[in-house]
Structure 1
């Protein structure tokens, strides 16, 4: 019980800290998140990789999109249906971004799950593309807290779902062939 109270305190403190970022930072983060909305950014990146990257680009794109789909299914299709966590209180945010957020459960961050899954799946096949994708992925994760859409623990759980989805997609062929 004490541990849960400590985690709530940490979530609250980190959320309030992120809410106080300078307005210019918030605008940049919001612009990147808007590009990532409905996975547009990651689908665009996959298309560019497939077109410009030859065999390696097509493999990175396919693996990234597969991991992204699994992460979305787990985070939005399963976890959000099971968890009913309210969004952070609007009064914590000195800006009006907290007024424009979904009504669904805060837990976990599906945006972060998708961003991390795509990036982590691309990186082993095409490290340079993975490094490029890591920048907007981190910005999306930060924006989800800064805007009031999620607590840091929602984002951390979304990242864990993204990494787990990547692990599953990268291991699935071996697991299937083994049986």
Structure 2
């Protein structure tokens, strides 16, 4: 494989690995928000921001952790036939399905960028009582989808290398 491809795979894998390891601690952020929600509802006045903030934290948690999950191969597969295949046959099948994923992510990114531009242009706010701006979470969605697309390309390169008998 050309050096630029192996360099690309190394950089994308390293970036997504580090972001994924950091995002693993996002579960504690969500737990803190929901704990505060429970405490404030029991002992004080209920907070307006807790439910929506927990939802935003959850979106950031799974969107930014998705590329790490793909990198580790912890995505869901139907192993009925897949588990019995050779590594090369798995690589052929994975390279086909990753192209479908890349198409889906491209369409998703196009829509996310359009939605984020609208949100920034019109200072879009949530229609709830708290009324936070929506652009931060939409930017997070765009970044996460873009990182997932980069990781999908990295996985495609690894599959092509495996088909050719080379390990990246």
For Structure 1 versus Structure 2, the TM-score category normalised by the shorter chain is 0.3 to 0.5
TM-score (norm 2): 0.37
Larger Cα-atom Rg: 2
TM-score, normalised to structure 1, is: 0.36
